Structure 1
Amino acid sequence: MTTPGTPPATTTDVDLRRARRALVVVGLVIPAVLTAVTIGLIAVWMPDMPDPAATHWGAGGVDGYGPPVTYLWLAAVVGLGLPLLLATATLTMAGRQWGATARFLGALALGLSGFSAVINAGSTWMQRGLTDAGDATNVLPVLIGGFCALLLFSAAGWVLQPDIAATPAPTLRSTRLPSISAGERVVWMGSASMAPAGVMIIGFTCIVLIGVGAVMLLQAPESAWIPLLVLVLVGLALAATASFRVRAGADGLKVRSALGFPRLNVPLDEITAVRAIECHPFAEFGGIGWRVGLDGRTGIVLRTGPALEVGRRGKGAVVITVDGAETAAATLQAHLDHRAAE
């Protein structure tokens, strides 16, 4: 059975340990220091802030207020909580499947910490000495600074981590099918479904959005459409990507959402290679769902486990996590062999 392209150089244990240590420094240690400094500055400036302080701005100026201590919580949650989540998830789930995605997530963790530091410290600093938080109208420089910090700290996080070769996905034990005779139809069909844990997380998110929408409907009816719109979009995304039908046969590979859209077709003429692999969605694609990896592969990756990888002529490979991936790969390979023998 052929493989999609030449496998990259294998990542050694030394390289892997070095990359993991760098991610700990970039994604955990530096964000912890940044957040500590930010919280210290906010604590020093808080006595000079109005109470309530401005916590949200709209097109017409300040439109949200809260106690000054709100900025301490925001700095801790965004500046350290999110980087902690990204870094620990990467270290836990990536395993030996290290590559550009893990490096990117570490860089993003540092970028979010820098963003939080500028936004929260800047919003606090601009309100020092004010008696009315409504006078803090010019928040644009703080926003621009925050997004610049996000880009600069992310870039620094990327540079500070070693560029090690991505570990190739392990190929599963091959399955061979008998040669296909002229006029014979051989088709494999299966389904790819999201893992129960993923469904539970999305379901919990929907419950939270329903709660937020209910509260806003009572307290701010004019803004209640925002969480409700997000709820509808999350629901549609879940319905469209929670389950896919997969078909491998003489016409190539066909993947269709249970909802009917999105769908993906790879004609047999465009298939250059096929194999069954062990896929780790978080390590290879940064999460679950319909994704595009930093290596150019398209992933319909809904859970960790066996996956079908199909190389495409002139395009990145397609990866679909599905039970029976070995048989699906063997079916496509048999058709490729039959086409080559004609």
Structure 2
Amino acid sequence: MKHRVVDPAGVVFGLVVPLLCAVFGFVLTKIWEPRLPEQIATHWTTTSPDGFSTPSANAWTIALLTLLFGGGLSAIAALAPAMLMMRRFMLVVGLSVVGLITTVNFALLYTQLDVADPSTTSLPLWSIGVGFAVGGVLGWIGASFLRDYRVRTLATIEPSAGLPRSSCPLPISDDVGFSTKGSVILTAITLAPGVIMALAMRSLWPLFIFGALGLLVVSLVRFRVIVDEPEIRVINMGMAAMTYGIDEVVGADVAEIKPFADFGGWGLKTKGRRNYGVVTRTGPAVVITFAGGDRLTITTPKAEDIAGSLNRLADARTR
């Protein structure tokens, strides 16, 4: 089976969408140019504009910012060989930036239509928060269309006799990572600067940005692991971030893991080539080896049950 190089959904959302947004800025400027001042305000202090340029120069600047920053981040989504969860995360972040730039540019132009003196205008701050939030939602939608094009290799040997076996009923599922209470606390910590900014500026737009950032941060430390007869799934952001078939399992063991010492931190981590870890706590972890060379470590109190069940299922496939 050939390795796929490009994810079609990643091309659409990670490359085409930013390009269309960049083109939109040009088209909008061209349509509105007769109604815009010769020099438009492009940057504001807290009270008044302090930067000006021609509409066409602003259109080029916005297009470059959209493609370099937003498109540069979201373009990773098109690379099929890259880790699925990383591609999804970068797409959400990239399109959040694209949404922010596009919406702010729209508001910037709209507020200066038929204005004689652009120095009297002000930028609607709502456009910052709304643009970031709309872009983030579009990124999440795009992320749901991304697929894992990893080539699967079937295991041809049974797990070692020294590995644990278990008759634990299936499916086995476990929520790994921060608890609901911990996630609320982490979100609150992330949101706190936004609350302070919102009160100081008397505007709600910082809450949109920091609220979205809080959700992204929490998504990196909350997972659900499901083991059943056909496959092992790691769920993140409501979507399967990693999926392995039971027919790929070479063996599963149990180990004691310290996230920072063993993987350099919490969340979905990598330690060397094809050595992945869903490490969110110190303690027991199931360590699964696959025929394709991947190795997956998941910290969970159910490590013994999961490892034993995987080895039992792997035994059964060869009979």
Normalised to the residue count of structure 1, the TM-score between the two structures is 0.43
Of structures 1 and 2, the one scoring higher in RCO (CA 8 A, sep 6+) is 1
